[in-house]
Amino acid sequence: MSDTQDHNALPDDELLAAEYALGVLEGTERAAAARLMQRDPRFAAMVAAWDERLTPWTAEIAEVLPPPQVWEAISAALPGESQPQTGLWQSLAFWRGFALASALAAACLAVVIYVGSISGSQPLVATIESGGHRTFVATIDTKRGTVAVVPAAFTADATRVPELWLIPADGKPRPLGLLRADRAVTITLPADLAALAKSSVVLAVSLEPPGGSPTGLPTGPVIGSGKLTSL
């Protein structure tokens, strides 16, 4: 092709890498480039370099919050242990009942009996509140390394989502995950954070943009906090 004459500045393989990264290839050419990436680390590095050059352009693309069922589908498709999320533990009606009953002690006692009966582990409970207004109740199953968070009196905000934070002795908030106003959420704690979850450590909830805090630290108002108590 005559049109290749005046751009010899890029060798053929790098040209292919650029075309692949830009996304203009199709059919057998695109498939060939994808295969080459798998077996030729030098070519893969060229594509990665082009990705690095072009990706800043995506700053022009607005973030869009995907619907929750996408994560649910991913989570269900992952191999390995899935957390048993059945029965009372996940039943919103069950937990709503507790939320309505103002006697937290009774709820905690029930949790002790319930959790104790299924796992024999030592749960930690935190009532997340602000000015006496209880928003969530969190229970950490230390054996399984999960935290179950139940909405008490929290009303959803159309533009912001509640995010749970663990604030250990060093005072630095660690993001645990997004919560829901309409149902209980069970989050698996990463091992390093599970080790930090101890009595007297603080859990807090802040309101964040959809998708969670963009900075890894709370950016919105903290709507409640509470210390973990060993039962």
Partner 1 sequence: MDIDANRELITAALTRIPAGDRAALQTVYRLTSAKLFGVALRILGERSDAEDVLQEVYMTVWRKAADFDPSRASPMTWLIAIARNRAIDRLRASRQSRRMEPIEQASEIADVAPGADRMLTSMETHARLHGCLDRLAPHERSALRGAFFDGNTYEDLAARMSVPLGTMKSWIRRAMIKLKACLEQ
Based on CB atoms, which residue is closest to partner 1, 12 or 182? 12
Based on CB atoms, which residue is closest to partner 1, 107 or 161? 161
- Which residue in 11, 35, 40, 66 binds partner 1 (CB under 8 A)? 66
Q: Does 190 bind partner 1 (CB under 8 A)?
A: yes
197 neighbors 142 (Cβ within 8 angstroms): yes
Q: Tell the residue number behind the tokens 């069970």, with chain if given.
A: 186
- Which residue in 36, 40, 43, 77 binds partner 1 (CB under 8 A)? 77
Q: Does 32 bind partner 1 (CB under 8 A)?
A: no
- Which residue in 123, 151, 173, 175 binds partner 1 (CB under 8 A)? 175
Nearest Cα neighbor of 139 from 168, 116, 173, 162 is 116
Using alpha carbons, list the distances in angstroms from residue 134 to 30, 102, 107, 130, 223: 56, 10, 14, 7, 9
Q: Does 23 bind partner 1 (CB under 8 A)?
A: yes
- Which residue in 45, 109, 153, 156 binds partner 1 (CB under 8 A)? 45
Stretch that binds partner 1, among 12-20, 121-129, 130-138, 197-205 (CB under 8 A): 12-20
Where along the sequence are the contacts to partner 1 (CB under 8 A)?
A: 1-4, 6-7, 9-10, 15, 18-19, 21-27, 30, 34, 45, 47-48, 51-67, 69-71, 73-75, 77-80, 175, 177-178, 187-191, 210-212, 214-217
